[in-house]
A and B are shown apart, each in its own frame.
Chain A
Amino acid sequence: MELFLQSIVNSLIQGGFFALWAVGLVLIFGVMGVVNFAHGELVMVGAYTVWLLHAQNDVPFLIAIPVAIIIAMMIGLVMERFLFRPNRTDPLAGLICSIGVLFILQVIAHEVGGTGPAKQVAPPFNQIVEIGESLRIPMQRLFSLGVAIASLGVLWFFLTKTKLGWALRAVALDREASALQGININRISMIAIGVGAAMAGLAGALMAPLQNITPHMGHNVIITAFIVTIVGGVGSLSGAVAAAFIYAAFHTFVTAYFNGTVATICGLLIMVVVLIIKPTGIMGVKVSE
Chain B
Amino acid sequence: MSIKNLIICIVILAGLVALPHFLAYNFQDLLIFLAVNVLVVVSYRLVTLTGEWSLIHVVMMGVGAYASAMLSKMAGFPFWISMPIAGLTAAGIAALLCFPLFRMTQFYFLIGSFAAGEAIRLVWIYFIDPFGGSSGINNLPPPELGDIDFYEPIPYFYMTLIIVTISLFILYRIEKSRVGLTLNAVHWKAPLAESVGVDTWKYRSLALIVGSFFVGIAGALKVHYLGVVTPHQFGIGVMVFVLIWVIVGGYASFVGPIIGVVVLTVFDQGLRASGIVDPAVQPAVYGAVLIASILFMPEGLEGIGKRFFSKSSGENA
Among A87-95, A170-178, A182-190, A235-243, the stretch in contact with B: A87-95
List which B11-57 residues lie within 8 A (CB) of chain A: 53
- Find chain B residues with CB under 8 A from A142 CB: none
Partner of A110, one of B100, B122, B280, B289: B280
Q: Does A157 belong to the interface (CB within 8 Å)?
A: no
- Find chain B residues with CB under 8 A from A97 CB: 290-291, 294-295
Q: Does B115 belong to the interface (CB within 8 Å)?
A: yes
Docked CA distance A92–B108 (Å): 11
- Find chain A residues with CB under 8 A from B294 CB: 87, 93, 96-97, 100
The answer to whether B122 touches A264, judged by C-beta atoms less than 8 angstroms apart, is yes
Q: Does A265 belong to the interface (CB within 8 Å)?
A: yes
Partner of B284, one of A107, A230, A269: A107
List which B122-138 residues lie within 8 A (CB) of chain A: 122-123, 125-126
Q: Distance in Å from the Cβ of A109 to the closest Cβ of chain B?
A: 10
Q: Give per-residue flags for A62-104: 1 if the beta carbon is below 8 A from chain B beta carbons, else 0.
A: 0000000000000000000001001100011101110111111
Q: Does A106 belong to the interface (CB within 8 Å)?
A: yes
Q: Does A226 belong to the interface (CB within 8 Å)?
A: yes
- Find chain B residues with CB under 8 A from A93 CB: 294, 298
Which residue of chain B has its CB nearest to the CB of A219?
B236
Partner of B283, one of A103, A223, A279: A103
The answer to whether B287 touches A102, judged by C-beta atoms less than 8 angstroms apart, is yes
Partner of B280, one of A96, A111, A223, A230: A111
Q: Distance in Å from the Cβ of B59 to the closest Cβ of chain A?
A: 12
Docked CA distance A35–B114 (Å): 13
Q: Distance in Å from the Cβ of A100 to the closest Cβ of chain B?
A: 4
Partner of B122, one of A87, A100, A104, A265: A265
Q: Does B264 belong to the interface (CB within 8 Å)?
A: no
Partner of A100, one of B112, B116, B123, B288: B288
Q: Distance in Å from the Cβ of B254 to the closest Cβ of chain A?
A: 21
- Find chain B residues with CB under 8 A from A261 CB: 122, 125-126
- Find chain B residues with CB under 8 A from A276 CB: 100, 103-104, 112
The answer to whether B118 touches A268, judged by C-beta atoms less than 8 angstroms apart, is yes
Q: Does B107 belong to the interface (CB within 8 Å)?
A: yes
- Find chain B residues with CB under 8 A from A92 CB: 53, 106-107, 110
Q: Distance in Å from the Cβ of B102 to the closest Cβ of chain A?
A: 10
Which residue of chain A has its CB nearest to the CB of B112?
A275
Partner of B290, one of A99, A223, A265, A272: A99
Q: Does A259 belong to the interface (CB within 8 Å)?
A: yes
Q: Does B119 belong to the interface (CB within 8 Å)?
A: yes
Docked CA distance A227–B281 (Å): 30
Q: How large is the interface on B (under 10, 10 to 19, 20 to 34, 35 or more residues)?
A: 35 or more
Docked CA distance A3–B247 (Å): 49
Q: Does A262 belong to the interface (CB within 8 Å)?
A: yes
Q: Does A271 belong to the interface (CB within 8 Å)?
A: yes
- Find chain B residues with CB under 8 A from A83 CB: 291, 295
Q: Does A108 belong to the interface (CB within 8 Å)?
A: yes
Q: Does B286 belong to the interface (CB within 8 Å)?
A: yes
Q: Do A96 and B247 contact each other (CB < 8 Å), given the known contacts A275-B104, A275-B108?
A: yes
The answer to whether B104 touches A103, judged by C-beta atoms less than 8 angstroms apart, is no
The answer to whether B116 touches A272, judged by C-beta atoms less than 8 angstroms apart, is yes
26 residue pairs A–B, Cβ–Cβ below 8 Å: A87-B295, A91-B107, A92-B107, A92-B110, A93-B298, A95-B107, A96-B294, A97-B290, A97-B295, A99-B243, A100-B290, A100-B294, A103-B240, A103-B283, A106-B284, A111-B280, A115-B280, A226-B111, A259-B126, A264-B122, A269-B115, A269-B119, A271-B112, A275-B108, A276-B112, A279-B103
B residues neighboring A (CB under 8 Å): 53, 100, 103-104, 106-108, 110-112, 114-116, 118-119, 122-123, 125-126, 236, 240, 243, 247, 280-281, 283-284, 286-291, 294-295, 298
| Additional pairs, 14, CB under 8 Å, beyond known A92-B106, A99-B287, A107-B287 | A35-B107, A87-B295, A93-B298, A96-B247, A102-B287, A103-B284, A106-B284, A107-B283, A261-B125, A261-B126, A265-B123, A271-B112, A272-B100, A279-B104
